[in-house]
Amino acid sequence: MTEGWVWCGGTFYTKYLKDTLEELRKNDRDSVLDMANEATESDLEAPWESEEFFSALKKANNNQETDEELLTIAVQVDYLYYTEWDDSDLEDLQYDDGK
């Protein structure tokens, strides 16, 4: 995996957008909205997009947000972010392949 979504500072990863949206909706929505409802414009990752964030948050608080709007909220409050990395970055990783 050389690209994907990093959750909560690296505690969890998803590779595909569809899995990311499903995880957000099923398991993390309440946590994301708790963070978002405490956020001010200066807390946002991209404050220049604050109008989009607060519009999505208003819809979410009324249970009317789309998956994409929930993702916007989560990214803005730094719950998760998307990144890509080079294969050479993987050389330093250690992992257990279960064998």
- What average pLDDT does the segment 75-92 reach? 82
**pLDDT band of 99, cuts 50, 70, 90:** low
Q: What is the distance between the alpha carbons of residues 17 and 39, in angstroms, rounded to a whole number?
A: 25
Q: What are residue 6's DSSP bridge partners?
A: 13, 81
pLDDT at residue 94, as a whole number? 57
Residue 91 predicted with pLDDT over 90: no
- E-strand ranges in the chain read 3-7, 12-14, 80-84
Closest CA to 33 of 63, 2, 13: 63
In tens, the pLDDT along 27-83 reads 999 999 999 999 999 999 999 999 999 999 999 999 999 999 999 999 999 999 999
* Distance in angstroms (rounded) separating the CA atoms of residues 31 and 36: 9
